[in-house]
């Protein structure tokens, strides 16, 4: 089973870092093994988004640039979260009726490989 490095951002602004191998977008929860080794259950509806990352530290000097093209990434999407953060990227699976969707940020040099966005944590979603 594939283990993913993730940064879990909650609607209440809490952040956890760890690994998961049982996240599925159609399930209501998944398990996260924290960097400390502790294993906890995460409920999807409490999240803002689940960030699949290259590293836990990221690059604090990196300036976000959402101008990259993502071959095979699908349709361009702009997501504005309820906390004011905006991310631009591409998606093949957005539907307003779903509880969430995956997107690939249009910043290929950034730390995020892909993001699972929880729809209830968004203020606006624009296609194109």
State the DSSP code for 61: T
Q: How far is CA 81 from CA 4, 34, 52, 123, in A?
A: 23, 25, 17, 5
State the DSSP code for 64: P
Phi/psi region, residue 58 (left: phi>0; alpha: psi -120 to 50; beta: rest), is: left
Question: Is the Cα torsion angle 120, 48, 30, 110 positive or negative in sign?
Answer: positive
Domain layout of the chain by residue ranges:
4-55+64-127
> pLDDT digit string (tens) for 22-47?
999 999 999 999 999 999 999 999 99
Residue 21's pLDDT is what? 94
pLDDT band at 1 (very low <50, low <70, confident <90, very high): low
| CA 34/CA 6 separation, integer angstroms | 10
Residue 34's pLDDT is what? 96
Residue 48's pLDDT is what? 98
């Amino acid at each position: 089973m594939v283990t993913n490095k993730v940064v879990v951002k909650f609607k209440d602004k809490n952040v956890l870092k760890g690994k998961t191998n049982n996240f599925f977008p159609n399930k209501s929860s998944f398990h996260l093994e924290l960097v400390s080794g502790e294993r906890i259950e995460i409920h999807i509806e409490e999240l803002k988004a689940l960030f699949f990352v290259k590293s836990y530290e990221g690059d604090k000097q990196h300036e976000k640039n959402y101008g990259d093209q993502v071959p095979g990434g699908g349709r361009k999407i702009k997501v504005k979260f309820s906390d004011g953060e905006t991310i631009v990227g591409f998606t093949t699976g957005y539907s307003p009726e779903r509880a969430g969707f995956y997107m690939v940020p249009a910043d290929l040099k950034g730390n995020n490989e892909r993001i699972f966005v929880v729809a209830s944590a968004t203020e606006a979603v624009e296609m194109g």
